[in-house]
Chains A and B, each alone.
Chain A
Amino acid sequence: MIPLILFYIAAAVAVGAAALVVTRLNASHALIYLVVSLLAIAVMFYLLGAPFAAALEVVIYAGAIVVLFLFVVMMLNLGRRTVERERRWLEPRAWIGPGILAAILFVEMMYAIVGNAVPTASEGVGPKAVGIALFQEYLLAVELAAILLLAALVGAYHLGRRYLSDRREEPSAPGRKEFPPEEASS
């Protein structure tokens, strides 16, 4: 009984925080609510008997990915003007379409869930079991994810690389006469 109550509390926190993520005008506030939502989801994973997934949810999503989001938001140094613009974008008129679509999905989801009790697990799936499942049954998915990540890595490397080489071609001092390209390449 207690796990079930805790599950519903965590679920309510997750949904509430997710709603706040969408409606906050300040990007950094929204991101902190996103972290809260992810932590609540980690609690739900734990209660459903997946401690390994719960830990990875915190380590990777909350601990690394959203940190980088926040990092970017800090770099952009968004001020009051951005908040004003966000306020204009979040007019009630903009809510109607997505609201209707989300409501349809919500009804469908409730229809699917009703009648099925929440499967709070009596036994947890440990890290070892997860590892065995990943590298035997789901090996193909792991390999595909690895290829995707490799592509992302190569892309990031390429972008960083071009930036660096552009910098190197810049004239070393302002006001210095630039050579025509054919002369510079020879």
Chain B
Amino acid sequence: MPFDWTWNWSYALIVPLAVGALLFALFLVWWERRLLGWWQDRQGPNRVGPFGTLQAVADLIKLLTKDDWLPPFGDRAFFILAPAIVAGSMLMAYVIVPFGPDLYVADSNIALLFFLAMSSLAVYGVLLAGLSSNNKYAMLGGLRAAAQMVTYEVFMGLSVMGVVIHAGSFSLVDIVEAQRDLWFFVPQVVGFVIFLIAGLAESHRLPFDLPEAEHELTAGFHTEYSGMKFGFIMAAEYLAMVLTSALVVTLFFGGWLGPSFLPPVVWFALKTAIVINFFVLLRASIPRPRYDQLMSLGWKILLPLSLVNLLATGAIALALSD
């Protein structure tokens, strides 16, 4: 049944989930800075509160009270709309994340496609931010972001198709259930690596943060943003990172599955935390590639690789089926 118009108790999750995700993004800003400090042999934020934990609160107060400037030379409507699109599309995608066996807002036979759809709509936020700022750095950043995200979207979709073949469904709950015997990380290791790289590029985080590369483009597509609009763009980046981590866990590492001495939600949270920390480690250790290197890596290596992976997975599945 495509429509179920009756009240479902899982809808009660929507508001706590959205608020929780935003607060978690705030916490993550502090956590990431601490980790980076640790890995790079320096202190990181440690002044405000115990271990600098209140740094996140201080940052929030600063963002909320900062002058929210609208560039008079830009496109006002798009300028205001852009951060809302970025953050909104990312929050929407959280709807399909299964945190536990019965702990998700919605699951359908197109759940995975819904995630891809939302991450492809997020491009508009970045693109419009660059376009409406009417500033050459922002414009270049927006162009880079659009090219990068469209490119990496292509094989982000292709890389998860191997998982879909194994599970026989686009539903994330079915995909997790299909991993009871063996995590898809094992047969789909190529798909996993490609999905990880594509997820990194989709959330345009370091080392793939070329749209906002500060040494060449000031702050790229969000050069003109200040105050809470900048805060939303920043939050969306962290939301995207958490979302990608959650999907990596769901698709390749068995989601909430784990030995029964811990509840499923805890397993899910632990695995996701490990992947998030891995993303931070990548940021700390890998230098930024050049823009043309990023694009040729995408089109010349990752795209053929994901097609071959899909073909091989399909051939094996077909051979084993009869």
Interface residues of A (CB under 8 A from B): 2-3, 28, 32, 35, 46-47, 49, 51-52, 54-56, 58-59, 62-64, 67-68, 70-71, 74-75, 77, 121-124, 126-128
Q: Is the CB of A64 within 8 A of B153?
A: yes
Q: Is the CB of A71 within 8 A of B117?
A: no
Docked Cα-Cα span, A88 to B195, in Å, equals 48
Q: Is the CB of A70 within 8 A of B153?
A: no
Q: Is the CB of B110 within 8 A of A63?
A: no
> Can you name 15 A-B pairs with beta carbons within 8 Å?
A47-B3, A54-B110, A55-B113, A55-B114, A58-B117, A59-B157, A62-B121, A63-B123, A64-B150, A67-B123, A67-B124, A67-B127, A67-B149, A67-B150, A126-B109
Docked Cα-Cα span, A78 to B126, in Å, equals 19
Docked Cα-Cα span, A52 to B171, in Å, equals 12
Docked Cα-Cα span, A51 to B109, in Å, equals 8
**Tally of chain B residues near chain A (CB < 8 A):** 33
Docked Cα-Cα span, A122 to B3, in Å, equals 8
- B94-127 vs A, CB cutoff 8 Å, 1 = contact: the mask equals 0000000000000011100110110011011001
Give chain B nearest CB distance to A125 CB in angstroms.
9
Q: Within 8 Å CB of A56, what residues of B?
A: 113
Beyond A51-B109, A59-B157, is A70–B117 a contact (Cβ under 8 Å)? no
CB-contact partner of A74 in B2, B108, B139, under 8 A? B139
Beyond A51-B2, A59-B120, is A67–B139 a contact (Cβ under 8 Å)? no
Q: Within 8 Å CB of B124, what residues of A?
A: 32, 35, 67, 70
Q: Within 8 Å CB of A75, what residues of B?
A: 143
CB-contact partner of B121 in A49, A58, A70, under 8 A? A58
The answer to whether the Cβ of B298 comes within 8 Å of any Cβ in the partner chain is: no
Interface residues of B (CB under 8 A from A): 1-3, 5, 75, 78, 108-110, 113-114, 116-117, 120-121, 123-124, 127-128, 130-131, 139, 142-143, 146-147, 149-150, 153-154, 157, 168, 170
CB-contact partner of B120 in A2, A62, A74, A124, under 8 A? A62
Docked Cα-Cα span, A63 to B116, in Å, equals 9
Q: Is the CB of A74 within 8 A of B130?
A: yes
Docked Cα-Cα span, A153 to B131, in Å, equals 28
Beyond A32-B128, A123-B1, is A63–B147 a contact (Cβ under 8 Å)? no
Q: Is the CB of B5 within 8 A of A2?
A: yes
Docked Cα-Cα span, A114 to B120, in Å, equals 37
Q: Within 8 Å CB of B157, what residues of A?
A: 59
Q: Within 8 Å CB of B150, what residues of A?
A: 64, 67-68, 71
Q: Within 8 Å CB of A51, what residues of B?
A: 2, 108-110
Q: Within 8 Å CB of A62, what residues of B?
A: 117, 120-121
3 tightest A-B contacts by CB?
A: A63-B120, A124-B2, A55-B113
Docked Cα-Cα span, A59 to B123, in Å, equals 11
Q: Within 8 Å CB of A3, what residues of B?
A: 3, 5
Q: Within 8 Å CB of A59, what residues of B?
A: 113, 116-117, 120, 157
Q: Which residue of B lies closest to A28 (CB)?
A: B131
Q: Within 8 Å CB of A55, what residues of B?
A: 110, 113-114, 116-117
Docked Cα-Cα span, A63 to B93, in Å, equals 14
Give chain A nearest CB distance to B140 CB in angstroms.
10
Q: Which residue of A lies closest to B132 (CB)?
A: A28
Docked Cα-Cα span, A77 to B128, in Å, equals 13
Give chain A nearest CB distance to B257 CB in angstroms.
24
Beyond A67-B146, A68-B150, is A124–B127 a contact (Cβ under 8 Å)? no
CB-contact partner of A63 in B1, B121, B139, under 8 A? B121
Give chain A nearest CB distance to B110 CB in angstroms.
5
Docked Cα-Cα span, A49 to B1, in Å, equals 9
Q: Which residue of A lies closest to B128 (CB)?
A: A32
Docked Cα-Cα span, A87 to B91, in Å, equals 38
Docked Cα-Cα span, A127 to B1, in Å, equals 13
Most buried by A among B2, B114, B124, B139: B2
CB-contact partner of A121 in B2, B5, B139, B154, under 8 A? B2
Docked Cα-Cα span, A9 to B93, in Å, equals 23
Q: Which residue of A lies closest to B117 (CB)?
A: A58
Q: Which residue of B lies closest to A50 (CB)?
A: B2
